[in-house]
Amino acid sequence: MGTYLVTGAAGFIAARTAGLLLDAGHAVVGLDNFNDYYDVRLKQHRLDALTGRKGFTFSRADIEDEAALAPLFAQHRFDAVINLAARAGVRASIEQPRPYFATNVDGTLNLLELMRRHGVKKFVLASSSSLYAGQAMPFSEDLAVNTPLSPYAASKKAAEMLAYSYHHLHGIDCSILRYFTVYGPASRPDMGLLRFTSWIDRGQPIELFGDGSQTRDFTYVDDIARGTIASLKPLGYEVINLGGGLNSITIASIISRLGKLLGKKAVLDRKPFHPADLKETWADIAKAERLLGWQPRVSLDEGLKQSVDWYRANAAWLRDVKL
């Protein structure tokens, strides 16, 4: 059994990844700084599901602080570092770009440096489908992604390049995972799915940017976590899409399906399309199947039902969470 450092362990994807690693009998050292980008009650909710489990230890620290990370690398012999700590969100990165580079670039550099010093040879990095803006669909990993439309996307591209440098210079094996529109229970409150669900349930207007015809390649969080773990195998340096592999799932369709699950009709507050948003996403996932033996298992309808069921079970405290 391995020992893995999972950064951002109280985050949406990382908490589920850590849980599946523990299910398989591995040891997980979870790391999170509990910043206030969104309501920390959601982070605590996810962390509570991990706390007390055999093989799990938690450290409250920031990947931007190399001195705080160093004792963890001295204390443990990590088989791999899974870097899921990140500043996420396209629109917020336009308003405050500096924290995105501090976490996504400087934080990644700190981890890679400590890996180099301590002989940790496997690195998994969460990247983003936002890099594909303006490219032909379906998005494949060999497309040039040199025109990021937001500081968030630019920071993820920079992190990918850092990882390549450390692979080339120091032999660190790197899996770069470009995630596509991850959804599921306990998602971030700035993401569309939880916002839409909450607004429909409360009878509040949904802030809809554009006309709802824009499409996303929705991927359930458990499928993302499975793919992340599968990418721990030796690969050299590979960029791999993890997406639903579905085309033309419109935002309007998601809103309609959520309304049916909740038994309520959505009220729309239409706003202009945001220039930093992608109008369409669609992942070519052939490489993930070839290299990782991975395909998504959870259907959109099943995933949406699981998400709404979780929302209903936690609606009492979620009412106070800022969206």
Q: Could you give the residue numbers annotated as active site?
A: 152
Taking CA atoms, 71 is separated from 68, 76, 222, 322, in Å, by 7, 9, 31, 35
How many CB atoms lie under 10 A from the CB of residue 82?
29
Note whether 163 and 169 are within 8 A (CB): no
Residue 242, φ and ψ in degrees, nearest 5 = -120, 105
Dig out the tokens for 309 from the structure.
Answer: 């069921």
Hey, what's the torsion of the CAs at 283, 93, 49, 222, to 10 degrees? 0
Residue 109, φ and ψ in degrees, nearest 5 = -60, -40
Cα 135 to chain center, whole Å?
A: 21
> Sign of the CA dihedral 131, 136, 138, 140?
negative
> Considering just the CA atoms, what is the radius of gyration of the chain in Å?
19
Hey, what's the torsion of the CAs at 96, 42, 163, 236, to 10 degrees? -150
